[in-house]
Structure 1
Amino acid sequence: MPHGPPEVGVGPWQGPWPEDDHWDPELLAHGDRRNVVDRYRYWSLEAIVADLDTRRHDFHVAIENWQHDFNIGTIVRTANAFLAAEVHIVGNRRWNRRGAMVTDRYQHIRHHPTPADLAAYLHDHGVRLLGIDNLPGSDHLETMPMPRHVCFLFGQEGPGLSEAAREVCDGTFSIAQFGSTRSINASAAAAIAMHAWIREYADLSGDAAWRG
């Protein structure tokens, strides 16, 4: 195939099995076709999460869930890629997981019935709540001081942040745009915000930062 091997992952383990606790016997026996980096081949789900927990970053991501928005899953997938501390779902408990591509299994996800509940939880843990909102008065993501302990809150595609969410945010920011459209896709905005945090605070000095 011109774009890579016909199968993702690896087949059954060849040779004597390793004996450390993080290996998954089922994967060793039958192969590991999951979308995980090579470091985690044949590891159990629990072992992967435990290893990620030793390195999680200090930012959180929150998404309002009123319309079963497909973007929620995509934002969760990006939060996993950038190793967010937690992802918070605000509103309806059930959410569209399709876009997550099973990355939600490796990401801590917490539910809050209302934006006020989210804000109370974050403030109890010393985390600022910043919403993305391209209305007048919002700070510019490109020039604002980026808090280290922060949660980025995103609204639904189309309506954006709810009024209740705006009321409990510690501030809002917008992303610079130069074309004709009024807004960009919610999952794209989330990726930009998370990467802005990564550029400011992530440790890029070792090989662990490059896991593609």
Structure 2
Amino acid sequence: MPHGPPEVGVGPWEGEWPVGEEYDAELLREGDRRNVVDRYRYWRLEAIVADLDTRRHGFHVAIENWQHDFNIGTIVRTANAFLAAEVHIVGNRRWNRRGAMVTDRYQHVRHHPTPEDLASYLHERGVRLLGIDNLPGAAHLETMALPREVCFLFGQEGPGLSEVAREVCDGTFSIAQFGSTRSINASSAAAIAMHGWIREHADLSGGDAWRG
């Protein structure tokens, strides 16, 4: 009996090939082993991104990157799963992509050298910038009505939002905690905030919400 995990994806297309510009001849011939939902099997990368762009949600997510935070890759992967408009990296341009699991190819990732640059970019497009950190005086994220056009900004793991980032935010909010730890992981906090937006604004009535 063979051992190990089952092979990911699908093998070569069987039978007559489908017709359409979205299909990739190499994938049809060799098989598609990528981590994509069935809707996008055998599609070209560019075709997948173009289709996603027709359905992207109104929220953005941003993270400060002064110390090459390892959470960024995981945040990008989650942003892709929830179909964020864009992910913004503030500070150092280089970031660890390992946690993204190649999802950064399908997600728009934009770099900003400073928090001020991020705020200017968002405000020109009518997007509110909300800092998420367990700061004194921060309102509860759980009790606020989330704007449809919003960007959630997260600081580095450990120090949290920088002083400059706090100053340019339109408001700061915290995620309610009840245990002994001072904070939760940055990528976990980002997932909570993004899912909060999904619960409030996403359309779950059609077939666009994947179930595996």
| TM-score, normalised relative to structure 2 | 0.97
| Residue 88 of structure 1: aligned partner | 88
Report whether the alignment pairs 1:127 with 2:127: yes
| Residue 175 of structure 1: aligned partner | 175
Over the aligned positions, Cα root-mean-square deviation in angstroms equals 1.2
How far residue 210 of structure 1 moved from its aligned partner, in angstroms, is 2.5
**For residues 211 and 31 of structure 1, what CA distance do their matches in structure 2 show?**
23
Report whether the alignment pairs 1:65 with 2:82: no
Q: What SS is found at the alignment partner of 2:143?
A: coil
Q: What SS is found at the alignment partner of 1:61?
A: strand
How far residue 24 of structure 1 moved from its aligned partner, in angstroms, is 0.5
**For residues 54 and 81 of structure 1, what CA distance do their matches in structure 2 show?**
15
Q: Which runs of 5+ in 1 are unaligned?
A: none
Cα deviation code 1:9-32 (max 9, x no counterpart): 000111111120000011001000
What amino acid is the match of 2:80? N
| Residue 186 of structure 1: aligned partner | 186
1:12-31 equivalences under 5 Å are: 12-31=12-31
Q: What SS is found at the alignment partner of 2:83?
A: coil
How far residue 63 of structure 1 moved from its aligned partner, in angstroms, is 0.8
**For residues 139 and 115 of structure 1, what CA distance do their matches in structure 2 show?**
21
**For residues 190 and 23 of structure 1, what CA distance do their matches in structure 2 show?**
34
1:78-157 equivalences under 5 Å are: 78-157=78-157
1:37-48 equivalences under 5 Å are: 37-48=37-48
**For residues 60 and 211 of structure 2, what CA distance do their matches in structure 1 show?**
21
Q: What SS is found at the alignment partner of 1:63?
A: strand
- After the TM superposition, list the runs of 4 or more consecutive aligned residues in structure 1 that deviate by more than 3 angstroms: none
How far residue 48 of structure 1 moved from its aligned partner, in angstroms, is 0.3
**For residues 202 and 209 of structure 1, what CA distance do their matches in structure 2 show?**
9
**For residues 149 and 69 of structure 1, what CA distance do their matches in structure 2 show?**
26
Q: More displaced, 17-26 or 113-122?
A: 17-26
**For residues 134 and 94 of structure 2, what CA distance do their matches in structure 1 show?**
27
How far residue 208 of structure 1 moved from its aligned partner, in angstroms, is 1.6
How far residue 133 of structure 1 moved from its aligned partner, in angstroms, is 1.5
What amino acid is the match of 1:201? H
How far residue 5 of structure 1 moved from its aligned partner, in angstroms, is 6.0
Q: Which runs of 5+ in 2 are unaligned?
A: none
**For residues 134 and 146 of structure 1, what CA distance do their matches in structure 2 show?**
18
The answer on whether the counterparts of 1:37 and 1:211 sit within 8 Å (CA) in structure 2 is no
Question: % of aligned pairs identical?
Answer: 87
| Residue 56 of structure 1: aligned partner | 56
Corresponding pairs, count: 210
How far residue 69 of structure 1 moved from its aligned partner, in angstroms, is 1.0
How far residue 137 of structure 1 moved from its aligned partner, in angstroms, is 1.3
How far residue 44 of structure 1 moved from its aligned partner, in angstroms, is 0.4
| Residue 76 of structure 1: aligned partner | 76
